[in-house]
A and B are shown apart, each in its own frame.
Chain A
């Protein structure tokens, strides 16, 4: 009877440990259209958590220049301090250690008139440290290793999302290039034929009998 209870107790403790670790969350890579300023909020539970992520500006119709003007990105802590900032980038990765727990604000600022679509991914990762291990004696060091392994895998996932967003942008550029090649060359042929027929018509008019003494 006693051993049965002890087994149930240990199982409950393990489930508790499980729940403790499943507080690590990640998001899908969402895309949002930035007209002027768009802000996204994410809650960081534990102080000292590593917040990592990336963003890529996906949708843009650049006509002449080959370089995207970029957007500005700012991360603000719950206390109001700017934790991370980057200006004029069309895609960037970021990682910082959260100085305190609370609601963090991730803002994109588009300084230009055309709206841009930004695909972003934010991941908050927590690895239990010795303090958590000391607080709860039912946490094994193996849970720490599992959390580290999970964080490493999440960083691979984050890279993949960044690559996928960059690949989408590259695909847009490629499809736009293909459309431009077809339409601009066919337009060029038509304009060439038009210009030459206009030349012929003009020369004909120069030699028409209605204008007298027009030896060109």
Chain B
């Protein structure tokens, strides 16, 4: 009898674990909700550098008032140079994943489908992760057979590395901007002196031309 209870406890625990895991997949705890207007597009964007993993998941959130009618939406993701990375129409749920090859503003646009346009609009739950947030820790845990405190510390290590990379990126950006500022500074000085010399040259030309004109007209 005791052996039976002891044998059943791991099964119960696994069930609880599986419940915890599936509740992970619910968008409720880890996503941002957006309101889509019934007409028009709603876009979110983010400036991302190259070689960053982007993982996103979008779901239509069910309205309590119309439980039997689930409106559908469409989504489109474009890269900074205009390439279409993901495009889906008439879905209630979708996801996309890509690794950035260009640095710039990535745009994700959502709109309500034309044949489902209810008056109020729609709520979308968007789970957008990039970089270290998109890393699949469960597969790392399985591959390297680590769990518990060691996995948590590994996650913290990943986070620290991401902070370090971000800091380097900010440093590079600051260096680029400093160069732009310095060239602008040099240009302001150069252009102002040139404007003074242009002024002088134009007045000299005026004087020379008028003197020549008056001499020709025998007025001087």
Residues of chain A whose beta carbon lies under 8 Å from any beta carbon of chain B: 2, 5, 8-9, 11-23, 25-33, 39-43, 45, 103, 117, 119, 122, 140, 142-143, 146, 149-150, 153-154, 156-157, 160, 163-164, 167-168, 170-171, 174-175, 177-178, 181-182, 185, 188-189, 192-193, 196, 199-200, 203-204, 207
Contacts and interface: CB of A to CB of B under 8 A. Distances in A.
Contact of A45 (B29, B32, B130): B29
Given A28-B133, A188-B195, 10 more contacts: A2-B6, A5-B10, A19-B24, A40-B32, A117-B45, A146-B153, A150-B155, A157-B162, A167-B174, A171-B176
A18 B156 contact: no
Interface string B176-220: 110011011001100110110011001101100110011001010
A200 B148 CA distance: 87
A16 B184 contact: no
Interface residues of B, number: 74
A5 B6 contact: yes
B184 A177 contact: yes
A30 B46 contact: yes
Contact of A196 (B32, B130, B177, B203): B203
A12 B10 contact: yes
Chain A to chain B: the 9 pairs with minimum beta-carbon distance, closest first: A41-B33, A14-B148, A25-B30, A185-B191, A19-B20, A12-B13, A196-B202, A31-B45, A30-B44
Contact of A31 (B20, B46, B184, B203): B46
Contact of A199 (B169, B176, B206): B206
Of A20, A31, A150, A154, most buried by chain B (CB within 10 Å of CB) is A31
Contact of A9 (B13, B129, B176, B205): B13
A167 B10 contact: no
B31 to A, nearest CB: 8
B14 A164 contact: no
Contacts of B210: 200, 203
A112 B155 CA distance: 43
B91 interface: no
Contacts of A29: 46
Contacts of B70: none
B1 interface: no
Given A16-B17, A19-B20, A163-B170, A26 B163 contact: no
Contact of A8 (B10, B24, B33): B10
A216 B48 CA distance: 69
26 contacts: A9-B10, A9-B13, A12-B17, A14-B148, A18-B152, A28-B128, A30-B44, A32-B42, A41-B33, A41-B123, A42-B33, A43-B28, A43-B31, A119-B46, A146-B156, A153-B159, A153-B163, A157-B159, A160-B163, A164-B166, A164-B170, A181-B191, A189-B198, A193-B202, A196-B206, A204-B213
B139 to A, nearest CB: 14
B16 A16 contact: yes
A94 B176 CA distance: 30
A12 B30 CA distance: 24
A125 B211 CA distance: 81
Contacts of A19: 17, 20-21, 24
A140 B123 CA distance: 39
B85 interface: no
